[in-house]
C-alpha cells in the first residue's frame, strides 16, 4: 500500500494514460511530416545539408534555409530503425514530456500534486492534434525554458539558468521557432528590470541576480548563431513569416475560428485564466501579466501558437489558482435556513476543507484508487483499440493521394506534375527523386507572388490558362473537387485516368499517354 502511494501518484497515472492514448492511435496525415522525413533521408545519405530546393521543378536550385536539419535527421534515423511506429512513439514521448515539465513547474508553485495535475489537464486540451514534425521540439524546449525562468523567479534558484544557452543552441538547430524562446527571455528579463527600476515592492529580484540573468540571456542569444547559416539565421523567422507574405494562405497560420469546439474551449480557458487572476489574493506583476498576454495574443493571431499559449498559461494559472479566494467564498456560503446563524453550512465547511487539503485528503487509499483508475483507463483503451486500430491508415487514405500514387508508380507515369498544395509533402515522400512536385508546404522558398499565382490557377481565376500553360504540365494530381480538374477536363486538354472519389490523376491528351488514356480513361472511377 505504501509503495503504491509513493509510486503510483495521480500525475503518473495521468501521464501513463496520456502516453498510451496518444501512442496507440497514431496520426500520419500531416503532409509536412513527409517532406521533413525525406529531407532527413537526404541529409543522412549525402552527409551534408541541402542548401537549395531539390523537391520542386518550379523553384529548383533556389537557395533555402533548412532550419530543422537536426530534427529531420533524427526523425529519419528513427524511421530507418523502427519505421513509422518508432517515429510516432518518439513524437508521443516528446509531447508527454512537454506536460511533465509543465507539471513540474506547476508543482513548484502549488506544492500539491492533485492541483498541479488539474492545471495541466485544463490546458493540455487545446494543444490540438499531435503531428510528428520538428515543431514538437519547440514545445518541449519552450516548456524547459519557462521552467528555468520560473525557478529563477519563484524558487530563487539560479542553477537552471546555465542550461539556457544549451537549450537555445539545440532549439536553433531543431526548429525555426527558436525566436519564440528569444521573445520569452526578452520579455521576462525586460519586465524584471523594469520592476527593479520602478522599485516594485512585490517580489523585486536583486540586481546581482538580474545581471546574471541578463548575461545568460545574452549567451542564449549568441548560442542561436551556432548553426549552419550563422548570424544571418536571425533574420529567417522574419523572412519566412512576414516578408514572404504567404502565411495568409496557410490554415495553421490563420486566426482561430470560434465556430469550432477546440477554439471555443480555448476562449473559455482564457476567460477562466483572467477570472482566476482577478479573484486571486495574488495580483499579477509586470512579468506575469506581460508574458501571459504575449502568448495569449499570439494564439489569437495564429492557430499555430495555441500550444505555446497552453504551455505559458498553465504555470501562470497555477500562480493565481494557488491563492484563489474560493475557500473564503465557500466559508461565507449561507443557505436560507441558516441566514440568521453566523456559522457556515456544514457542506460549505466540508468543501472549504477539501479545497484547502487538495489531494492529501485521500490519505492511504490514494495508491489503490490510482491503481484502479489506471486499470480502468487501460481496459477502456484495450476495448476501443480494435475498432480504431486502422484509423490512421483510413485517415491517411482519405486525406492523402495514397492510391493515386500507387497508380502513378504502377504505370510508370513521368513528366511535369501539377499538384494540390497539401499533397506536396506526401508526393515527395513517395515519388522523389524520380519525380519532382509543383508545390509543397515550404511556401517561404518560392519567389514572391508564386503561391498567389498557384492558387489563382488552382481555382480557375483569370489567366489560369496562361499560368498553367507556362509550366508545360504533363499530368495533374489533385483532389476530385478541385476547380482546375473540372476546367481542364472541360476543354479536353487532359483526360482522367484515375479517380477514387477523393483524389484524381489526369494525363495530358498527347501521344505519349494514349495507351494509358485508352486503358483507364473510361474506368477512372475504379483506378
Task: Reply yes or no on whether the pLDDT at 4 is more than 60.
Answer: no
Cα distance between residue 360 and residue 110, in whole Å: 13
Closest to 425 measured CA to CA, from 413, 442, 412? 442
Number of H helices, E strands in the chain: 23, 4
pLDDT band (50, 70, 90) for residue 325 = confident
Q: What is the DSSP letter of 63?
A: B
Q: Could you give the percent of the chain with pLDDT greater than 90? A: 60
- Angle at the Cα of 497 (from 495 to 502), degrees rounded to 5? 105
Task: Reply yes or no on whether the pLDDT at 99 is more than 90.
Answer: yes
HSE-up (13 A, CA, CB side) for residue 207 = 4
Closest to 223 measured CA to CA, from 293, 150, 275, 168? 168
Query: Which residues fall within 8 angstroms of residue 454, CB to CB, at 6 or more apart?
Result: 421, 438, 439, 467
pLDDT of residue 356: 55
> Which helix (H) or strand (E) covers residue 455, if one does?
helix 450-459
- CB 293, CB 321: distance < 8 Å: no
More confident: 311 or 10: 311
pLDDT band (50, 70, 90) for residue 239 = confident
- CB 499, CB 525: distance < 8 Å: yes
pLDDT band (50, 70, 90) for residue 297 = very high
- CB 71, CB 36: distance < 8 Å: yes
Cα distance between residue 400 and residue 380, in whole Å: 30
Average pLDDT over residues 351-369: 60
- Quick: pLDDT tens for 69-94: 999 999 999 999 999 999 999 999 99
Cα distance between residue 351 and residue 358, in whole Å: 11
pLDDT band (50, 70, 90) for residue 372 = confident
Cα distance between residue 188 and residue 286, in whole Å: 9
Q: What is the DSSP letter of 100?
A: H
Average model confidence (pLDDT) for the chain? 87
Closest to 156 measured CA to CA, from 209, 200, 111? 209
- Angle at the Cα of 453 (from 299 to 243), degrees rounded to 5? 45
* CA Rg value for the chain: 27
- Quick: pLDDT tens for 257-278: 888 888 999 999 999 999 999 9
β-pairing, 494-499 with 503-508?
antiparallel
pLDDT of residue 199: 72
Closest to 263 measured CA to CA, from 315, 314, 304? 304
pLDDT of residue 333: 47
Comparing 121-125, 137-141, 221-225, 441-445, the range with the smallest average pLDDT is 441-445
Query: What sign does the CA torsion over 208, 209, 215, 218 have?
Result: negative
HSE-up (13 A, CA, CB side) for residue 199 = 0
pLDDT of residue 125: 84
Task: Reply yes or no on whether the pLDDT at 335 is more than 50.
Answer: no
- Quick: pLDDT tens for 415-451: 999 999 999 999 999 999 999 999 998 888 888 889 9
Cα distance between residue 90 and residue 132, in whole Å: 9
More confident: 134 or 336: 134
pLDDT of residue 525: 47
Spell out the SS3 assignment of 321-372: HHCECHHHHHHCCCCHHHCCCCCCCHHHHHHHHHHHHHHHHHHHHHHHHHHH
pTM confidence score: 0.89
Kindly report whether the peptide bond that precedes residue 433 is cis, defined as omega within 30 degrees of 0: yes
pLDDT of residue 494: 95
Closest to 203 measured CA to CA, from 313, 285, 148? 285
> Alpha carbon 31 to chain centroid distance?
14
Amino acid at each position: 500500500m505504501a509503495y503504491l502511494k509513493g509510486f503510483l501518484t495521480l500525475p503518473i497515472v495521468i501521464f501513463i494514460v496520456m502516453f498510451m492514448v496518444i501512442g496507440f492511435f497514431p496520426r500520419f496525415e500531416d503532409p509536412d511530416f513527409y517532406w521533413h522525413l525525406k529531407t532527413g533521408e537526404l541529409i543522412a545519405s549525402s552527409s551534408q545539408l541541402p542548401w537549395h530546393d531539390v523537391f520542386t521543378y518550379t523553384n529548383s536550385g533556389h537557395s533555402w534555409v533548412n532550419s530543422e536539419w537536426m530534427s529531420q535527421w533524427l526523425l529519419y534515423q528513427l524511421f530507418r530503425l523502427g519505421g513509422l511506429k518508432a517515429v510516432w512513439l518518439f513524437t508521443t514521448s516528446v509531447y508527454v514530456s512537454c506536460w511533465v515539465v509543465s507539471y513540474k513547474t506547476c508543482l513548484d508553485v502549488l506544492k500539491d500534486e492533485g492541483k498541479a495535475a488539474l492545471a495541466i489537464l485544463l490546458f493540455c486540451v487545446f494543444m490540438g492534434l499531435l503531428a510528428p514534425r520538428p515543431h514538437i521540439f519547440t514545445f518541449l524546449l519552450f516548456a524547459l525554458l519557462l521552467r528555468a525562468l520560473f525557478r529563477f523567479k519563484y524558487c530563487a534558484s539560479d542553477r537552471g539558468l546555465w542550461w539556457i544557452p544549451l537549450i537555445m543552441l539545440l532549439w536553433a538547430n531543431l526548429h525555426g521557432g527558436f525566436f519564440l524562446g528569444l521573445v520569452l527571455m526578452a520579455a521576462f528579463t525586460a519586465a524584471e528590470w523594469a520592476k527593479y527600476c520602478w522599485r516594485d515592492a512585490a517580489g523585486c529580484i536583486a540586481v546581482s541576480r538580474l545581471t546574471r540573468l541578463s548575461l545568460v540571456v545574452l549567451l542564449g542569444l549568441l548560442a542561436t548563431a551556432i548553426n549552419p547559416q550563422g548570424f544571418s539565421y536571425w533574420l529567417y523567422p522574419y523572412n519566412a513569416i512576414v516578408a514572404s507574405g504567404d502565411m495568409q494562405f496557410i490554415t495553421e497560420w490563420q486566426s482561430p475560428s470560434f465556430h469550432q469546439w477546440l477554439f471555443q474551449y480555448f476562449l473559455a480557458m482564457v476567460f477562466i485564466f483572467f477570472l482566476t487572476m482577478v479573484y486571486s489574493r495574488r495580483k499579477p506583476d509586470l512579468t506575469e501579466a506581460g508574458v501571459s498576454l504575449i502568448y495569449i495574443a499570439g494564439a489569437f493571431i495564429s492557430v499555430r501558437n495555441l500550444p505555446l499559449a497552453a504551455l505559458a498559461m498553465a504555470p501562470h494559472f497555477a500562480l493565481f489558482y494557488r491563492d484563489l479566494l474560493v475557500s473564503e467564498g465557500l466559508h461565507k456560503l449561507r443557505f436560507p435556513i441558516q441566514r440568521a446563524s453566523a456559522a457556515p453550512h456544514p457542506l460549505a465547511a466540508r468543501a472549504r476543507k477539501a479545497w484547502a487539503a487538495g489531494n492529501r485528503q485521500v490519505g492511504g487509499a490514494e495508491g489503490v484508487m490510482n491503481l484502479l483508475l489506471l486499470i480502468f483507463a487501460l481496459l477502456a483503451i484495450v476495448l476501443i483499440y480494435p475498432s480504431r486500430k486502422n484509423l490512421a491508415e483510413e485517415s491517411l487514405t482519405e486525406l492523402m493521394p495514397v492510391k493515386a500514387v500507387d497508380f502513378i508508380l504502377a504505370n510508370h507515369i513521368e513528366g511535369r506534375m501539377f499538384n494540390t498544395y497539401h499533397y506536396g509533402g506526401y508526393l515527395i515522400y513517395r515519388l522523389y527523386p524520380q519525380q519532382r512536385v509543383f508545390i509543397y508546404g515550404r511556401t517561404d522558398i518560392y519567389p514572391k507572388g508564386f503561391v498567389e499565382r498557384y492558387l489563382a490557377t488552382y481555382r480557375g481565376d483569370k489567366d489560369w490558362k496562361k499560368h498553367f500553360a507556362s509550366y508545360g504540365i504533363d499530368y495533374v494530381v489533385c483532389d476530385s473537387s478541385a476547380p482546375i480538374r473540372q476546367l481542364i477536363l472541360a476543354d479536353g486538354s487532359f483526360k482522367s485516368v484515375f479517380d477514387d472519389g477523393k483524389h484524381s490523376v489526369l494525363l495530358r491528351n498527347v501521344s505519349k499517354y494514349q495507351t494509358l488514356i485508352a486503358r483507364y480513361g473510361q474506368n477512372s472511377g475504379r483506378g
